[in-house]
Amino acid sequence: MPPYAALEPSYPLDVLVIGGHAHGPAGATEKWLEFLPLYPLVRSFGSVSERETDTALDLLRDGRVNTLTVDPFVLEHVGDGFAAAFISQVRREFPRVLIVLTLISGPIPDVWLPSWFDENERFKHYFAIREHPSADINQDAVFDVLTKCVMAHFNQWNYDVSISYAGENRDFARELALALKDAGARVFYDEFFEDYLLGRDLQAYLQDIYSKRSRYCLILVSKEYAKKVWPRHELRSAHERALREGYVDYVLPIRIDDTVLHGLSSTVGYLEAARGPQSLAQTVARKLWLPAFIQGDSAQRIVTTQIW
């Protein structure tokens, strides 16, 4: 993939804490809920007990959670093997959701727990807070693992947003791409990568961009877009991703005119191009949770709320 300028990693965390209500260490869940709203990139948070995993799965299916914190030893109180089964289900159904194992409960020697975690290949892709069973979760440990989660989410994508448009709308697309880039977004806009695209199989390459490598896809809806082969190919690739991952708000339409685009539901929320590229870029930047739009003068926009 083409190189990128150094950007400050930013990704909103929607965190659900599971377990620790009935059987966990005193205050474990409360500590999580105390520290989560203090971390600037936590957008929303909530908690369920170890016996409410069906609720957790519903929240995941609704796209309201992207990070789970789980104490597997607490989940084992539900039944032998339940923790492994639940975690496996999450990994299978929601591959982009990150899991933090809060390994603080149970009669496990402090010297044994870290080596077991490091040596067990099945857990290499998880993050963990490794505390002695007698120790409290502390803010530094929580912030450290949340920062790792932000980095991992950020690095899942090559682009924050890709722009799909018809050639007749290139001037508008260029202004929008430049405004998004100035806001701090990683943008796929073909003119930015002309040298990189030269000689490549564009059908395969663009399908990869729109179906796998972009966090969001902006569609500039117009009568020209509806008629062109390449834009329709890009839209199909974007829908492929949405269907595969259940990512309901992956496609972000911007209407240049009132054209009805086949395959794009009329109930999907959209923006009007008449607002202009700068205004549109600011709205998209807020959705991306870019630092310039959630800090400083924009601090009032940080509303950390419980998931329910």
pLDDT tens string 187-238 = 999 999 888 888 888 778 878 888 788 899 899 999 998 888 777 767 777 7
pLDDT of the residue at 279: 94
**pLDDT higher than threshold 80 for residue 302:** no
Backbone angles phi, psi at 16, to 5 degrees: -120, 125
pTM of the predicted model as reported, rounded to 2 decimal places:
0.78
Least confident of 89-98, 159-168, 284-293: 284-293
**Helical axes 28-35 vs 139-155, angle rounded to 10°:** 60
Mean pLDDT on 286-306: 54
Q: Domains in the chain, ordered, with CATH?
A: 13-155 (3.40.50.2300), 159-295 (3.40.50.10140)
Q: Tell me: pLDDT of 124 over 80.
A: no
Phi-psi bin for 66: left (phi > 0), alpha (psi -120 to 50), beta? alpha
pLDDT confidence bin for 5, thresholds 50/70/90: very low
Segment 35-45, tens digit of pLDDT: 888 898 888 88
Average of per-residue pLDDT across 274-283: 94
CA distance 123 to 116: 10
For residue 113, is pLDDT > 70?
no
248 falls in which pLDDT band (50, 70, 90)? low
CA 196 vs CA 3, 67, 202, 244: distances in Å: 10, 34, 11, 28
Residue 25 pLDDT > 60, yes or no?
A: no
- Please provide the size of the chain in residues: 308
Give me the mean pLDDT over the 57-64 stretch.
Answer: 88
pLDDT of residue 1: 44
Q: How confident is the model at residue 118 (pLDDT cuts 50, 70, 90)?
A: low
Residue that wins the pLDDT comparison between 71 and 17: 17
Sign of CA dihedral 227, 231, 237, 240: negative
Percentage with pLDDT > 90 across the chain: 27
Rounded to an integer, the average pLDDT of 3-32 is: 67
Please give the pLDDT value at position 308: 42
User: Does residue 123 surpass a pLDDT of 60?
Assistant: no
Q: How far is CA 306 from each of CA 124, 165, 169, rounded to the nearest angstrom?
A: 30, 37, 41
CA distance 215 to 45: 21
Mean pLDDT across the chain, nearest whole number? 78
Give the phi and the psi of residue 59 in degrees, each rounded to 5: -65, -40
